[in-house]
Chains A and B, each alone.
Chain A
Amino acid sequence: MAPEKDLKEILGKLQYSDDAKVIQQITEQMKQVQARMTGIRYKLVVMSGKGGVGKSMTTVNLALALARLGNKVGVLDVDLNGPCVPRMLGMHGLSLTMTSQGATPPFGPLGVKVASMDFFLSAASPVRWKGPMDLSPVWLGVMEMNVIREFLADTAWGELDYLLADLPPGAAADKPPVIAGFIPDLAGAIVVTTPSEVASDVVQKSVTYARDMGIKVLGMVENMSQYRCPACGVESELFEGNTDALCEALNIPLLGRIPFDRTLARTFDKGEPLLDPAYPTIKRYQEIAERVVALVDYRKVLAQKL
């Protein structure tokens, strides 16, 4: 039997080398994300602590509004388990084109490019991964973050004025702020809420956490501010919250209010989005997009008006 040896002493004499090249590859992966994003002028994330407040609806309509202003726009649907951007834009069934230069995203309405997990799934299939994911959620978490890393590193967006990332819900030490941290030179976050106390409470936490992570919060969009009855046209309050007070307390601007518009929502549900710039709710998205344009280039405004 071999005599006992002191491993600590042995290791002290040896020079470590990364034979398996794991660290080297992870470093290269992050460099690739950086390189892929260089052609994009402004990178924005659309987030909310609360689910179901209409982040995706806000994202796609802001993307369309920015495209109407003459910008080249991309939408990255980061909600891996509930990707709905392609469906809303009538792009369900399309796919990314794989080339040696990367994955080219398909074009949607008004020339908006889209990358989404939906493009990897067949109809009605949920996202399921190989491996023993059901044994531990830890493996699933690592896998999902790395899939998001691939979306950032491998999608060949080309030259874009704006890339909007539709983040999944989550408030604090969860995916959204971490995903945002993946994106180099992030121009800022647009936060979506509804005027409900439940939503505002969670959104408030997500804003605080995002700021802790060094993410610049550009402003808040209040979705479902009212409900417009499609039959009689009367507008009613859906909730009784106070988004103004929330924005004042957080010291962030309220970028605009969007009513719950069943007519508009149904067109997106059917994948035949209403694009008429004269439509009242679309006009409101357009106003918000113009504010976002001013905010990402706020130094220009300060130079002119200070």
Chain B
Amino acid sequence: MKFVCLNCETYMSFEKVEKPAEGSLGVFFGCPSCGAKFSMVTNPGETQMVSSLGVKLGGRTEAAEPFEMTRETLKDEALAGSGQMAAYLNEKIHGGQPVAATGAPGSGKEGEKSGGGCPFSAMVAEMGLTTGGKAASGITGASEFTWSVDAKEKLDRLPAFVKPMVQSSVEAYARKQGYKTITLQVMDDSKNDSSSGLTWSREAEQRLENIPDFIRPMARKEIERIAKERGVATITAQVMDEAKDKFMKLM
């Protein structure tokens, strides 16, 4: 924030900060040309904004203490920020009505409370036993493709929340390949289709199988990244060799 002395057409200089009242800052400025001075006084909300940034107006003369802002701003029982200005803001914003209690934010996560009985029972009760895993029947939305009976059955076995994502992914693959009918084979092939537009040779796919399954998705992405860097469209055994060499050098 800057102030301009309109008489001298120059920025006023920041001089000092004082704390005239709880929840308020007095920031002093002076014109370097004509010497005019004035002080800007903040209300508790404006003071809070400055405090929340963890900065000191005018810069620091000493390094910040660890957790300075947290410790200074954590409320003890005294109601800081109260007083005339807070009352004024309350009047303006809430018409003087008491602000509704916001609950106890520190009361802990649901389901991780201590106490007797099953600690997760409240959470389980809240969530309820869902019909998860039981998908709605039928293809989601109007499809431009014909789904074979077995492919449709496989899709229908998926949970409802996953089905649209899988259907969309398989159909995108089918569209790219120019297929009109989606079979089980198309579904399987779509899993190996890279969103990066790269093709994997059978040998490269087999070598990827040597990697533990939980690392394979990451390995696939990393190798595709290397292939893209090299400007190749198909990931072959040679690309795999180059990738392996690269990883060996990083060890």
Contacts and interface: CB of A to CB of B under 8 A. Distances in A.
Interface of A: 2, 5, 7, 10-11, 13-14, 16-17, 19-22, 24-26, 29, 51-54, 56-57, 79, 81-84, 87, 96, 98-99, 102-103, 120-121, 125-136, 139, 142-143, 146-147, 149-151, 154-156, 169, 194-201, 204, 216, 218-219, 224, 238-242, 245-246, 248-249, 251-255, 260, 262, 265-266, 269-270, 291, 294-295, 298-303, 305-306
A238 B124 contact: yes
Contacts of B161: 197, 200-201, 204, 246
Interface string B18-51: 0000010000000000000000000011011101
Interface centre among B11, B57, B132, B166 (most CB of A within 10 A): B132
20 contacts: A5-B9, A20-B59, A82-B108, A102-B66, A127-B74, A131-B51, A132-B89, A135-B93, A149-B54, A156-B66, A194-B127, A200-B159, A200-B162, A240-B131, A242-B159, A269-B114, A269-B119, A295-B218, A301-B215, A306-B219
Nearest to B169: A249
Interface centre among B66, B80, B105, B115 (most CB of A within 10 A): B66
B59 A266 contact: no
Interface of B: 1-2, 4, 6-7, 9-11, 13-14, 23, 44-45, 47-49, 51-60, 65-75, 80-81, 86, 89-90, 93-94, 99, 102, 104-115, 118-120, 123-124, 126-134, 158-162, 165-166, 169, 207-208, 210-219, 222, 240, 243-244, 247-248, 250-251
Nearest to B208: A306
Contact of A260 (B13, B60, B120): B120
A197 B131 contact: yes
B74 A270 contact: no
Contacts of B80: 130-131
A232 B114 CA distance: 23
Contacts of A295: 214-215, 218
A29 B54 contact: yes
A128 B74 contact: yes
Given A19-B13, A20-B59, A26-B53, A128 B66 contact: no
Given A19-B13, A200-B161, A299-B250, A129 B2 contact: no
Contacts of B216: 253
A121 B106 contact: yes
Contacts of B213: 253
Given A130-B73, A135-B45, A294 B105 contact: no
A246 B54 CA distance: 41
A188 B212 CA distance: 18
Label chain B's interface by main secondary structure.
loop
Contact of B58 (A20, A201, A254): A20
A81 B48 contact: no
A198 B112 contact: no
B217 A302 contact: no
Contacts of B81: 130-132
Given A197-B161, A204-B161, A245-B159, 7 more contacts: A52-B123, A130-B81, A131-B80, A132-B90, A146-B53, A245-B158, A303-B250
Interface centre among A56, A134, A149, A269 (most CB of B within 10 A): A134
Contacts of B13: 19
B70 A139 contact: no
A51 B123 CA distance: 9
